[in-house]
Amino acid sequence: MLGACGTETVAPLAELGASDAGTDLAVDMLRDAATLDLPPDGDAGDAGAMDAGVPDAGPDCEAEELACDGRCVDPATDPAHCGACGVSCEEGVSCEAGRCACSFGTTPCAGECVVLLEDPRHCGGCGMACVAEEVCSFGSCEEECVAGLDVCDGGCTSLLVDPRNCGACGNACAEGQLCLAGFCGCPGAGVGESVRFCGAECTDTAQDPANCGDCGVACAEGEVCQDGSCAAECTGFGIEECEGACVAPLFDPQNCGGCGVECPLGGLCLLGTCACLPGFELCGDVCAATDVDPFNCGGCGNLCIGTCTAGSCTCAPGATACGDECVLTELDPRHCGACDAACAEGQACVLGACVGGP
């Protein structure tokens, strides 16, 4: 039967009609059990295994997810569990399709993402280091940089567009900023005055509840930020709330078509679809200034070994014009020894000749 608190109570043996002998035997058994030497905290050794219960099965994850560290993760995109639980990518390396991958224009070498075109430790390939008096210029160890480029940490780069060396060597733009004509700036800052650099990131003070109207002006808990003012709720046609911000998904580059859908750096949102600003082109995950960017001169991936002006490349001495590109035919496996003379898969171009391979 149940006691007052809903727990089951045990009736005295006499009430169950047990004999005096049976009662004495039961009392002796209970006394013996009370004298057992049990480990602390109720751990009964082998006996404890009988009532240990069913192990915790962990969180209920979707078919494509894994249970890692007590939570469900997507091994295809989670950099802390890339491909499997506990397989983490290095800082700055993203997880794509279950493999650690670097951002556009960089290559993983020795646990970090590097630019093979300008890294003197990995010039043209992982581990291919230049000697002390050489610089890495477009993936080749040279005595000096070509005209229009400057030496920064042993590599040749453009101070006009390099966000790590913007305007001067070592002058890195903050995360989210672009380097345009040697100056760091927030994407869209020239379009709307509400885009500001607050703290350590670019934000739109027209809708950021932590910087509503100006940097450091935070809305109260439960309020939203709309048009630079804190309010109780978002109002207006086509306006939606996204984590305390009143946004227009048709035109917001940070929430383009839906909450959290970010357009590439330098991009804008048109009717819920991301696009690049005039003069920019989508190259990988960034909008590149193809008029002056030597790595995307006139179009994505068009490497300019020389000077990129108005989208046209002026080849540097030693480089050859192949189509719209300036290339080093001594090293380029697509143009090895001559334009369009491509090496077979797995081969390298050394001194204008294809070598190696399976």
Q: List, as one string, the DSSP characters of 56-103.
A: P------TT-EEETTEEE-TTT-TTSSSSTT-PPPTT-EEETTEEEPP
102-106, 119-123, 157-161, 173-177: the lowest-pLDDT one: 102-106
Neighbours of 281 (CB within 10 A): 19
Considering only residues 112 and 213, tell me which one the structure prediction assigns the higher pLDDT: 213
Q: How many Å from the N-terminal Cα to the C-terminal Cα in the chain?
A: 80
Residue bearing the bigger pLDDT, 19 or 160: 160
Cα separation, 330 vs 115, in Å, equals: 20
**CA torsion angle 220 223 226 229 (round to 10):** -30
Which range scores top for mean pLDDT: 139-153, 213-227, 251-265, 317-331?
213-227
With cut-offs at 50, 70 and 90, classify the pLDDT of residue 245: very high
0.85 exceeded by the pTM?
Answer: no
**Where are the chain's structural domains?**
183-276
CA dist., res. 301 & res. 314, Å (int)? 16
**189 confidence band (pLDDT: 50, 70, 90):** low
Amino acid at 342: A
